[in-house]
Amino acid sequence: MLPSYYEFYNSCKIISGKKALDNLPYELRFFGAKRPIIITDKGVVAAGLVDHVKNAFKSSEMTIGAIFDDVPPDSSLKLVTEIAAVYRENNCDSFVAVGGGSPMDTAKGVNIVISEDSEKLSDFMGADMLTRPMRPFIAIPTTSGTGSEVTLAAVIADTEKNIKMPFVSQKLIASATILDPRMTITMPPHITAATAMDALTHAMEAYTCIQKNPMSDAYAHAAIKMVKEHLVRVVKNGDDENGRLALANAATMAGAAFSNSMTGMIHSLGHATGGVCHVPHGVAMSIFLPFGLEYNMKKIEPYLAEMLLPFGGEDEYVKTPAKYRARRLIELVRQLRRELRDLCGLPMTLKEAGVSESALETIARLSIDDPALTFNPEELEYEDALEVLKQAYQ
Amino acid sequence: MANPYLPIKPGRKWIKEVIVKSVFLFMGTALESAARRDPDIKKEIDTWDNGFTMMMNVLPFGPYMTFEKTAGKFCYRGVRIKDRKNDIKEREVKGNGGESGNIKLQDIDLIVNFKNIESAFLALTPQMGTPQAYAERRLLVRGNLARVMSFSRCLNILLAHLYPRFVYASLMKRPPRMGLKKQLIRLMIMTDIALGLPGHILRST
């Protein structure tokens, strides 16, 4: 159904395929850059992935301005200031982020203070606060989940004030993203599963939340199909390069979808659970996905039924009577979670993920203040959130 | 030959501006009262820090209103802009006789911006609910997004006090229940508006 009004924006060039990484210097040159700073984390370095990036610069006449490889799992204001100083001191002119959501968000944060020529990142907190053109920013994801490379948001923590600062602007979308199977091939099975479930949740929430539109639907539809076709195969055989590339593409497509149609209660609950109990985001998404779809069922049944086609395949879609398709989709999501638990130990309940039952009330309180809830089709009040959490607990 | 292609200065949508300004005044007075009278709104506002300031604004220099939580109370502050042509970040907003005096725009903790007067008109008249306005990106928020969720819940309850059910029910995902107690609160809010509005109008002119 065509909404009465919608907006869609995705300016990111996607470069996908084997040896795609070797195009990095060409792409930087295209954006007028010669001296990028590489922002990454220790895990990415230890997996040898930064070596691939360094190798791509050989014979390119470019200078790597600096490699900052100490990004923690949650980006912070202090870190952004520190990297901005390195950027200025080494006369860098662009950004290359290598990693998952945290290096990407960090690069976006540093890009804000550099491009806006400001020392105070917090001045730009909120939506559409950026006024100047950003420096070139190439994103190289090493997980297939966050979709940060094509999203218009970044979250940076102010550890002194103990708040998470959201930054939302279409200027934050990467100039280009490079999806190279070499960059995700070393991901262990449980992280592959968790991050892909994050991508699946992005796609499914994008397809069902109130800001959905025909463009985001197209991306979400393709992402759901690709995750379903390749996830289990890649978890079973991590060396499957085609499968890895498909999951990376799925994550990027899901990112483009949810960046435009936003997410809902599954993300609200996931953010709160991550904040209180440090459950990895992908794990939380996998746990909450069927519960969120079920909770919203009354409002989104036709959309759930439609998603059975990409998720269950043509045969499943045709043989399931129309009125049972929504329920069947949720059953198949649960079936996938069971399969992933058996294959790589991906938790199916909050209890399995190490969440204490006493934390549920705090999580419920935090989740109703999460802005993602605005876009959820159904209202979620504190008591509702607590009920869903109890269901997901065991 | 004279250039036939002269610059055009677009006019203003005065009627819609006046209506939006009036709704701000009415809503501001109502919210100040509801924050004292309705326990659900009070519960929300109790979680906000003292000194918290917020603003609803129509971009770029349209009507707007400010609020402040001071001494545990949520107060409608109205607005008086000294120099509308200055950069929006630099302009100073003067309180209308509130206890805390002046509020500088850059110090306001939360700003809800309508992209244009048409968007504000749609949301405030009220033809469109807050979630739909967000979904259609007619609203932009500057500041702490968690606080805006709490403010949205307050607005939902306020709408239920101000409008008949057939109006507010279509604007919300789940309309609040308005039992007998709520109806009494609604009556008190309406009385407060009747008594408080003339004062606010005088101060704003």
pLDDT of residue B22: 94
Residue type, A189: P
Interface test with B, best of A369, A376, A382 (most B CBs within 10 A): A369
Q: Where residue A78 falls among pLDDT bands split at 50, 70, 90? A: very high
Mean pLDDT across A268-277:
94
- pLDDT for A114 equals 98
Residue % of chain A over a pLDDT of 90 = 93
Q: How far is A374 from chain B (nearest CA, A)?
A: 6
Q: By a Cβ cutoff of 8 Å, what residues of chain A touch chain B?
A: 4-7, 125-129, 163, 166, 210-211, 262, 368-371, 373-379, 381
How confident is the model over A181-186, as a mean pLDDT?
96
Chain A residues whose CB is inside 8 A of the B141 CB are 126-127
ipTM, interface predicted TM-score of the complex: 0.87
CB contact under 8 A, A126 and B134: no
For range B8-33, the mean pLDDT: 94
Distance (Å, rounded) from C-alpha A279 to C-alpha A348? Answer: 12
What are the φ and ψ backbone dihedral angles of A155, each rounded to 5 degrees? -120, 125
- Rounded to whole angstroms, the Cα distance separating A125 from B100 reads 25
What pTM value is reported for the model? 0.92
What is the predicted pLDDT for the residue at B154? 95
Q: Is A197:A339 a contact under the CB 8 Å cutoff?
A: no
pLDDT band at B103 (very low <50, low <70, confident <90, very high): low
Alpha carbon distance A108, A95 (integer Å)? 9
Share of chain A above pLDDT 70, in %: 100
pLDDT at B93 over 70: no
Residue B203 Cα, gap to closest chain A Cα (Å): 31
Predicted pLDDT of residue B80: 58
Q: Which residues contact A265 (CB under 8 A, 6 or more apart)?
A: A288, A292, A295, A296, A367, A372, A373, A376, A378, A380, A385, A388
What is the per-residue burial (b if ≥16 Cβ within 10 Å, else e) of B99-108?
eeeebebeeb
pLDDT at A193 over 80: yes
- Please list, in sequence order, all residues whose beta carbon lies within 8 angstroms of the beta carbon of residue B153, skipping any fewer than 6 positions away: B40, B44
The rounded distance, in Å, linking the Cα atoms of A6 and B201 is: 37
- Which range is least confidently modeled, A14-23, A306-315, B147-156? B147-156
Instruction: Say how far apart CA B108 and CA A380 lie, in whole Å.
Output: 29
Q: What is the pLDDT of residue B102?
A: 57
